Amino acid sequence: MAAMIGLFIRKLEQFGTLSHEERQVIENLPINVRQVAANHDIAREGQRSDACMLLLSGMVCRYRLLQNGQRQIMSFHFPGDILDLTSLLLGNMDHNIGALTPIEVAPIAHATLLDWTERYPRLGRLLWQDTLVDAAVFREWVVNVGRRSVYARTAHLLCEMVTRLSAVGLVHDDVCDLPITPAELADATGLSIVHVNRALQELRSKQLVDLRDTALVLLNWEGLQQAGGFNPGYLHQRVLSTAA
């Protein structure tokens, strides 16, 4: 858990070094770990929350449901990510946040975050930058869902997940713990599950990547990036963690 706070600090420090006092303020945060089961929501559309959640373990997604029951996943989030800075300043949620796996979160009260930003404007700026990176990822998703082919869309999303998981030390020996299902990939790429299955099969047969039940095995990282037309620039990662 201290490791995850450390990870959160490291993510913020991609954009600027925190002062000793600023680091202490984050490290001294009282942590009440909340466990949430898979497929449960931690935030609901239309509701207000009074805390942002720091994701400590597991994977979540932001999503909306259409009236006909179809789901559009709008982003994935990994340990070290803070959810949802938007609610801090905008009030009612305009989307749902759901656990895709069992997760652990540490709530940080809005009042605490607002106090931090008043006392340490630079910390506020770093949180702002984090939200801007979120926005850059959403822009890339617009391109992904709007224009890429079935094959490229699927490859691109897998590249993004590998890159982001790698930054938090969750890729070892070309294998990442990725408990994502084809249905979730489909909802994230605006495709049918049939198209996603076909794309995964093609990626497998071209020996680029193999998505198994709970793991993603990278067979040809360069090839996978080419298949997706992937350029990690939009992730604005300044510091990549070394593998654990």
Partner 1 sequence: MSLELLLRPVPVHTGSADEDGQLVLADGRLVAVLVRLGDAAHAGLLGAWFLEAGFGPCAQVAPPVFSDLDAAQDWIRQRLGPYA
**Residue closer to partner 1, measured from CB, 45 or 202:** 202
Phi, then psi, of 170 in degrees rounded to 5: -105, 20
Binding-site string for partner 1 from residue 48 to residue 87, where x marks contact by CB under 8 A and - marks none = ----------------------x-----------------
Asked if residue 202 binds partner 1 (CB under 8 A), the reply is yes
Asked if residue 192 binds partner 1 (CB under 8 A), the reply is yes
152, 200, 209, 224: which one contacts partner 1 (CB under 8 A)? 200
Cβ-Cβ contacts under 8 Å for 65 (sequence gap 6 or more): 71, 96
Asked if residue 232 binds partner 1 (CB under 8 A), the reply is no
Phi, then psi, of 211 in degrees rounded to 5: -95, 110
Asked if residue 210 binds partner 1 (CB under 8 A), the reply is no
**Residue closer to partner 1, measured from CB, 182 or 232:** 182
Asked if residue 169 binds partner 1 (CB under 8 A), the reply is no
Residue 197's CB is within 10 A of a number of other CB atoms, namely 16
Asked if residue 93 binds partner 1 (CB under 8 A), the reply is no
Report whether 58 contacts 79 (CB < 8 A): yes
CA nearest to 75, candidates 143, 132, 157 = 157
What distance in Å separates the CA atoms of residue 178 and residue 200, rounded to the nearest whole number? 14
Q: Is 11 exposed, middle or buried (0-12, 13-18, 19+ CB in 10 A)?
A: buried
Least distance CB 65 / partner 1 (angstroms) = 13
197, 220, 226, 241: which one contacts partner 1 (CB under 8 A)? 197
Asked if residue 190 binds partner 1 (CB under 8 A), the reply is yes
For the chain, the 3-state helix, strand and coil shares in percent, each to the nearest 5, are 45, 20, 35
Asked if residue 145 binds partner 1 (CB under 8 A), the reply is no
What distance in Å separates the CA atoms of residue 137 and residue 75, rounded to the nearest whole number? 8
Phi, then psi, of 242 in degrees rounded to 5: -80, 150
194, 215, 239, 243: which one contacts partner 1 (CB under 8 A)? 194
Least distance CB 192 / partner 1 (angstroms) = 5
**Residue closer to partner 1, measured from CB, 92 or 201:** 201
Asked if residue 179 binds partner 1 (CB under 8 A), the reply is no
Residues that bind partner 1 (CB under 8 A): 70, 190, 192-194, 197-198, 200-202, 204
